Amino acid sequence: MQENELVTSPKKRLGEILLELSVITEEQLAHALEIQASEKRLLGQVLIKLGYVTPETIISALDMQDVSIFDHKQK
């Protein structure tokens, strides 16, 4: 690995993050996923429409998805 090479971990799914934060319940996630599949919409849009979360909560969770680190070890 080269110095300062960007290392990213696999993204967590939005629903997983919201569950870990105790923002939604498993039942709410399941309900939203059903609607998402039938309406072909983004999960965040569905959760907001259902009133389970605020737009700000979705933005924060999406920011958490993009966490990455730099590996400063030399080759």
Q: Give the number of other CB atoms < 10 A from CB of residue 14.
A: 20
Q: What span, in angstroms and rounded, lies between the C-alpha atoms of 66 and 46?
A: 21
Tell how far CA 45 is from the center of its chain: 13
Q: How many domains does the chain have?
A: 1
What domain range is 43 assigned to?
5-71
pLDDT at 67: 58
pLDDT at 74: 44
Q: Is residue 49 helix, strand or coil?
A: helix
Q: What is the residue-level pLDDT of the chain in tens, covering all 75 positions?
A: 455 555 555 678 999 999 999 999 999 999 999 999 999 999 999 999 999 999 999 999 998 887 544 444 444
Find tokens 């923002």 and name the residue.
Answer: 23
Supply 12's token pair.
């967590």
Q: Is residue 45 helix, strand or coil?
A: helix
